[in-house]
């Protein structure tokens, strides 16, 4: 209101000036200038008296009297955005939130939650398979709980659902199909062998990615990148030869999972979209759920109906059985969502290193929790494979960073 009054009074003053003689107008203008712009006031970008710029040392020569308080006319939006506590001298200062003020802490929290949720998921998942060995059905539950979570989130507007058209749907379907196949085969491997061994086999995924980029996409892979994959292949081979829980079902399923996730990454590059990662993952989960339901019915349906559910309830009870199914699905969706959100917050190199450390955490905690006995050769092979993945990830991320800088330049 003060701003409005100042503007209206200024308007009436201008009207009065138009009715005065020329000399009186000049005298009145000079008086108004001397009153409204005392020495030392800073308005309109400088200290100007009759068109001359004053040095700061010449201002406020009279120290006995304080400088006149400035009165600035601000836009209505700026005036409304500033709080009364800020005073009249601040020009709509923007408050900095916690995430913007401490980005490193927020990113560290994302990494911690990613690791924590992933470890908890693997532990609950393996415990569930110990008394309910039906990985196809459990894979459906993983996706079903995640889809329900996404639908509830869209309903409350966190996040707001992004629209999808037929063209985008055609691009996401191949990604979702590969995601579904990789997810199911990973669970088949988890149910068949130790969690640590499955993650050791899945350490070969960078090798399949490099091979697909070279021979399918036609991208030239440098020799240094191929050489960095040699320890990965060697380490996985050493671990597989002496793994106590080894069986061909778990090994082949993990390898199929590697191939599926490799093709998922290829199709993901072709399906680049402006849609945010949360909505993209939600749509992929919905499509993957419909892909996983038919195999689960065909492969495990008769056994589930005959004695699968009855045996599980008899072993742990109905409440724990349903609770395990719910939480394993919830942790699966949340850790995948956190992994995607973390990727958006950091550089490729940081995310690559974080992904390697995540696998180390999962392998280590699974050995501790389940008390899996591993031979010395298996332990050494696992360490060599993880070290190879770390070297590969570092080189690959550095290459991507250099390409991005060259494009920016």
User: Band of the pLDDT at 152, cuts 50, 70, 90?
Assistant: very high
Give the highest mean pLDDT range of 31-40, 65-74, 324-333. Answer: 324-333
User: Band of the pLDDT at 35, cuts 50, 70, 90?
Assistant: very low
User: Band of the pLDDT at 9, cuts 50, 70, 90?
Assistant: very low
Of the given ranges (33-37, 80-84, 275-279, 323-327), which has the lowest mean pLDDT? 80-84
254 vs 74, which has greater pLDDT? 254
pLDDT tens string 234-288: 888 888 887 777 889 999 999 999 999 888 888 877 776 778 878 888 999 999 9
* pLDDT (average), residues 149-166: 91
Rounded CA gap, 195 and 123, in Å?
9
The pTM of this model reads 0.69
Average pLDDT value for the chain: 77
Of the given ranges (203-212, 266-275, 372-381), which has the lowest mean pLDDT? 266-275
Q: In the prediction, which pLDDT does 108 show?
A: 82
CB atoms within 10 A of CB 94: 7
* pLDDT reading at 75 higher than 50: no
* pLDDT reading at 391 higher than 80: yes
User: Band of the pLDDT at 93, cuts 50, 70, 90?
Assistant: low
């Amino acid at each position: 209101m003060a701003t409005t009054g100042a503007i209206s009074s200024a308007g009436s003053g201008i009207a009065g000036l138009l009715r005065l003689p020329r000399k009186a107008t000049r005298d009145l203008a000079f008086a108004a200038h001397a009153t409204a712009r005392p020495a030392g006031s800073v308005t309109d970008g400088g200290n100007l008296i009759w068109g001359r710029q004053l040095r700061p040392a010449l201002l406020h020569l009279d120290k006995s009297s304080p400088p006149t308080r400035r009165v600035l006319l601000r836009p209505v939006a700026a005036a409304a955005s500033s709080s009364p506590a800020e005073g009249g001298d601040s020009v709509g200062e923007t408050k900095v939130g916690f995430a913007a003020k401490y980005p490193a802490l927020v990113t560290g929290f994302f990494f911690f939650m990613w690791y924590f949720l992933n470890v908890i998921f693997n532990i609950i998942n393996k415990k569930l398979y110990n008394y309910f060995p039906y990985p196809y059905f459990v894979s459906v539950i993983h996706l079903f709980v995640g889809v329900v979570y996404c639908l509830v989130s869209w309903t409350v507007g966190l996040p707001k659902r992004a629209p999808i058209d037929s063209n985008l749907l055609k691009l996401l379907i191949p990604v979702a199909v590969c995601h579904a196949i990789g997810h199911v085969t990973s669970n088949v491997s988890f149910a068949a062998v130790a969690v640590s061994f499955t993650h050791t086999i899945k350490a070969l995924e960078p090798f399949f990615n490099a091979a697909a980029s070279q021979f399918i996409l036609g991208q030239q892979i440098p020799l240094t990148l191929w050489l960095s994959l040699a320890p990965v292949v060697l380490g996985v081979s050493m671990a597989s030869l002496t793994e106590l829980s080894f069986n061909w079902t778990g090994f082949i399923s993990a390898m199929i999972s590697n191939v599926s996730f490799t093709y998922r990454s290829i199709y993901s590059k072709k399906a680049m979209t402006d849609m945010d990662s949360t909505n993209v993952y939600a749509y992929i989960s919905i499509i993957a759920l419909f892909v996983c339901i038919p195999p689960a019915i065909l492969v495990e349906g008769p056994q589930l109906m005959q004695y699968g559910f009855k045996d599980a309830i008899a072993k742990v009870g109905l409440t724990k059985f349903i609770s395990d199914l719910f939480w394993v699905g919830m942790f699966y969706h949340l850790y995948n969502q956190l992994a995607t959100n973390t990727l958006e917050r950091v550089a490729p190199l940081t995310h690559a290193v974080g992904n390697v450390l995540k696998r180390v955490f999962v392998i280590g905690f699974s050995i501790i929790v389940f008390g899996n006995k591993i031979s010395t050769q298996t332990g050494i092979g696992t360490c060599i494979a993880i070290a190879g993945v770390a070297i590969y990830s570092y080189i690959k991320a550095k290459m991507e960073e250099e390409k991005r800088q060259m494009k920016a330049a």
